[in-house]
């Protein structure tokens, strides 16, 4: 490629970064930059404007007609229904009682609740807000350190982006042509490993500095009939829903789309059992699902246009050419790609990074060779899960970490933004530790899929 042919697509990427900082809706930024550079490419005889007519068929064939992506609105519905039906509130009460005697019991309860909710839905915003509304007042009342409180709630709420069933993994499977079942299975151990790292950190901190996480006193729920009723209504049903949804996918009994349907139905049944179901609740949940789903698919459409023009202008070849000029070892190159994704997470949402960067990195990763450490046919799966762990940090890293602003909004009057920033530092380091473990020990990602025959 000539220097000019390399410069145009790289300029297109740089312009997109600048436009995204404008605060304009992401879908329109992607589509607008794509259209402008299609025009520029046409004037320079590098792009045929008539090719834009192919965008419609691409959007229809790869997005609107994709049965796998049908799982997204149903997983969103399941998460919103569980949040607004009171299931989560009962779950936190039960976990608080069960963990009362353990150091840092209330913080541990929040992590466990975030883990269970993550295994039923992949909506981080809803999880963080829900945990903040339910746990933040209680933790402040019990004298918990503000930094610990902010970090625990933020980090626990982000687990849903990694632990299956994750919307991000569904989108990754479509972009990288990897079966979603493989991704779900590969993410199980890393996802629960991150949760385990949070739990260990909390216990250690509670033992070293007990004044930052006072033990819970005995509550009326510890004994009596009410505890048994709450256990039956608030703990066992959501746990059973996790087993049904996640177990059916991993066991190969259902596709992600079928399991999502079961999850949406199960969440509705739980609302009925808790006697919180109403047509007004159903209307609110459907409306919330539609708005979230429209936002995601709008970004899909914009990203499809952008990526098509980028490739037609030689963007893929330009990136590969730059990588070849660097002449890095395969492991060094992998680390560089991870650093790039981590740095992008400071400024952009996971959806933008996934839709723009993954298709560009895919041919580069497929050409890598890690010898006996990672089988050639499993490199893309391993890379995808590592990226998923990496992208979880994008929710916690300032200045644009979404989880931080969800918590700030929900916790007004309790936490300042500075206290939130301070509190998430150790949990971001724990997430990077989890990423490093996945890179150093690929079996953490690949063992379960291989064991189950994926």
Neighbours of 35 (CB within 10 A): 16
Mean pLDDT, range 336-344, rounded to an integer: 88
Pick the residue with more confidence: 229 or 396? 396
For residue 194, what pLDDT is reported? 94
Instruction: Write the burial class of residue 364 (CB in 10 Å: 0-12 exposed, 13-18 middle, 19+ buried).
Output: middle
- Residue partners of 444: CB distance under 8 A and separation at least 6: 189, 190, 193, 437, 438
Percent of the chain's residues with pLDDT above 90? 13
Label residue 432 by pLDDT band (50, 70, 90). very high
pTM passes above 0.85: no
Q: Are 200 and 427 a contacting pair, CB within 8 Å?
A: no
Mean pLDDT, range 373-386, rounded to an integer: 91
For residue 259, what pLDDT is reported? 82
Pick the residue with more confidence: 65 or 39? 39
Residue 439 pLDDT > 90: yes
Question: Could you report the per-residue pLDDT of 242-262, keeping only the tens digit for each?
Answer: 778 777 877 778 777 888 888
Mean pLDDT, range 116-132, rounded to an integer: 72
For residue 125, what pLDDT is reported? 66
Residue 429 pLDDT > 70: yes
Neighbours of 220 (CB within 10 A): 9
Mean pLDDT, range 170-199, rounded to an integer: 89
Least confident of 8-12, 162-166, 245-249, 371-375: 245-249
| Average pLDDT score, the chain | 81
Label residue 196 by pLDDT band (50, 70, 90). very high
Alpha carbon distance 160, 183 (integer Å):
14
Residue 155 pLDDT > 80: yes
Mean pLDDT, range 403-422, rounded to an integer: 76
Mean pLDDT, range 146-157, rounded to an integer: 88
Q: Length of the chain, please?
A: 454
Question: Could you report the per-residue pLDDT of 306-328, keeping only the tens digit for each?
Answer: 888 887 888 767 777 777 777 77
Pick the residue with more confidence: 199 or 87? 199
Shortest CA distance to 216 belongs to which of 329, 82, 95, 45?
A: 95
Mean pLDDT, range 217-239, rounded to an integer: 64
Give, as one character, the DSSP assignment of residue 24. -
Angle between helices 236-250 and 180-208 in degrees, nearest 10: 140
Alpha carbon distance 352, 159 (integer Å):
19
Question: Could you report the per-residue pLDDT of 66-91, keeping only the tens digit for each?
Answer: 666 777 788 788 877 877 777 767 77
Question: Could you report the per-residue pLDDT of 249-307, keeping only the tens digit for each?
Answer: 777 787 778 888 888 888 888 888 878 888 888 998 898 888 878 877 887 788 788 88
> Rg of the chain over CA atoms, in angstroms?
23
For residue 430, what pLDDT is reported? 93
Alpha carbon distance 58, 86 (integer Å):
41
For residue 379, what pLDDT is reported? 92
For residue 233, what pLDDT is reported? 67
Pick the residue with more confidence: 251 or 206? 206
Q: Are 64 and 301 a contacting pair, CB within 8 Å?
A: no
Label residue 220 by pLDDT band (50, 70, 90). very low
Residue 127 pLDDT > 80: no
For residue 245, what pLDDT is reported? 79
Residue 111 pLDDT > 60: yes
Alpha carbon distance 151, 147 (integer Å):
6
Residue 59 pLDDT > 80: no
List, as one string, the DSSP characters of 209-266: -GGGSPPPPP-GGGSSHHHHHHIIIIIHHHHHHHHHHHHHHHTTSS-HHHHHHHHHHH
């Amino acid at each position: 490629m000539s220097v000019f042919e390399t410069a145009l697509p790289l300029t297109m990427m740089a312009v997109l970064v600048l436009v995204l900082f404008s605060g304009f809706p992401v879908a329109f930024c992607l589509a607008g930059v794509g259209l402008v550079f299609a025009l520029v490419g046409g004037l320079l005889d590098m792009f045929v404007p008539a090719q834009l007519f192919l965008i419609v068929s691409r959007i229809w064939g790869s997005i609107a007609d994709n049965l796998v992506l049908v799982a997204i609105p149903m997983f969103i519905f399941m998460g919103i229904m569980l949040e607004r039906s009171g299931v989560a509130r009962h779950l936190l009460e039960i976990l608080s009682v069960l963990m009362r005697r353990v150091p840092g019991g209330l913080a541990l309860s929040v992590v466990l609740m975030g883990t269970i909710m993550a295994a039923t839905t992949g909506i981080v915003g809803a999880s963080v807000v829900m945990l903040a509304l339910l746990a933040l007042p209680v933790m402040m009342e019990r004298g918990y350190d503000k930094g610990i409180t902010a970090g625990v709630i933020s980090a626990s709420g982000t687990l849903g982006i990694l632990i299956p069933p994750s919307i991000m993994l569904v989108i990754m499977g479509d972009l990288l042509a990897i079966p979603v079942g493989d991704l779900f299975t590969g993410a199980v151990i890393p996802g629960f490993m991150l949760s385990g790292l949070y739990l260990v950190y909390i216990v250690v901190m509670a033992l070293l500095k007990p004044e930052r996480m006072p033990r819970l006193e005995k509550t009326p729920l510890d004994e009596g009939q009410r505890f048994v009723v709450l256990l039956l209504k608030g703990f066992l049903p959501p746990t059973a829903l996790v087993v049904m949804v996640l177990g059916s996918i991993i066991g190969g009994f259902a596709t992600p789309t079928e399991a999502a349907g079961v999850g949406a139905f199960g969440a509705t049944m739980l609302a009925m059992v808790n006697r919180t179901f109403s047509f007004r609740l159903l209307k609110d949940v459907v409306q919330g699902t539609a708005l979230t789903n429209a936002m995601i698919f709008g970004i899909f459409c914009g990203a499809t246009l952008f990526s098509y023009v980028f490739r037609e202008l030689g963007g893929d070849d330009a990136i590969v050419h730059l990588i070849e000029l660097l002449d890095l070892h395969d492991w060094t190159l992998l680390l560089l790609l991870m650093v790039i994704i981590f740095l992008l997470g400071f400024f952009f949402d996971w959806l933008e990074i996934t839709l723009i960067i993954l298709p560009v990195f895919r041919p580069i990763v497929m050409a890598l060779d890690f010898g006996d450490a990672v089988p050639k046919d499993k490199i893309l799966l391993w890379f995808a899960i590592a990226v998923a762990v990496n992208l979880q940090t994008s929710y916690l890293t300032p200045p644009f970490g979404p989880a931080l602003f969800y918590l700030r909004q929900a916790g007004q009057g309790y936490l300042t933004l500075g206290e939130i920033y301070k509190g998430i530092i150790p949990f971001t380091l724990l997430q990077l530790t989890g990423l490093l473990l996945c890179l150093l020990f690929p079996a953490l990602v690949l063992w379960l899929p291989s064991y189950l025959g994926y």
